[in-house]
Structure 1
Amino acid sequence: MTLSTQFITIITMVVSGVYLGASYHTFKRLERLWTSSILWKYVLEMLFWLIQAAILYFVLFLVNEGILRLYIFLAVLCGYAMFKSLFEQAFGRIVDTLIRIVLHIYRFIYRIVEIFVVKPIVFIVSLVVVCITKVFTGLYSLLLLLLKVVGWPIKVIVSILSPLLPKNAKKYLHLFYRFYSKIKRKE
Structure 2
Amino acid sequence: MNLHTQWLTLLWMFACGGILGIAFDSYRVVSGQFRFPRWSIHIFDLLYWLAASLFVFRALYHVNQGELRFYVFLGLFIGVWIYFLFLSVLTERFMVMLIKVVKWFYGVMVRITQLFIITPLLWILRLVKWLLGLIWIVLLFLGRITLSPIWRLVVWVSRPIVKKLRIPDRLARIRDKTIKLWKSWTRWLFKD
Q: TM-score, normalised by structure 2?
A: 0.77
Q: What per-residue deviation string (whole Å, max 9, x for no partner) do you get for residues 48-92 of structure 1?
A: 111111111111111111111121111111100000001112222
In 1, Cα distance between equivalents of 2:109 and 2:151: 61
- The letter of the residue matching 1:174 is L
In 2, Cα distance between equivalents of 1:126 and 1:33: 40
Shift of 1:31: 0.5
In 1, Cα distance between equivalents of 2:33 and 2:142: 58
Q: 1:64 to 1:111 in 2, by over 3 A?
A: same
The equivalent residue for 2:14 is: 14
In 2, Cα distance between equivalents of 1:32 and 1:132: 52
In 1, Cα distance between equivalents of 2:33 and 2:128: 40
Q: 1:149 to 1:118 in 2, by over 3 A?
A: same
Q: 1:139 to 1:176 in 2, by over 3 A?
A: farther
In 1, Cα distance between equivalents of 2:157 and 2:87: 101
Could you list the runs of 5+ residues in structure 2 that have no partner in the other structure? Answer: 184-192
In 2, Cα distance between equivalents of 1:26 and 1:37: 18
- The letter of the residue matching 2:96 is D
Report % sequence identity: 21
In 2, Cα distance between equivalents of 1:27 and 1:58: 21
Contact 1:35-1:41 at 8 Å conserved across structures: no
- 1:95-110 → structure 2 map (5 Å cutoff): 95-110=95-110
Q: 1:158 to 1:20 in 2, by over 3 A?
A: closer
The equivalent residue for 1:45 is: 45
Q: 1:175 to 1:137 in 2, by over 3 A?
A: farther
In 1, Cα distance between equivalents of 2:167 and 2:145: 20
The equivalent residue for 1:87 is: 87
Could you list the runs of 5+ residues in structure 1 that have no partner in the other structure? Answer: 163-169
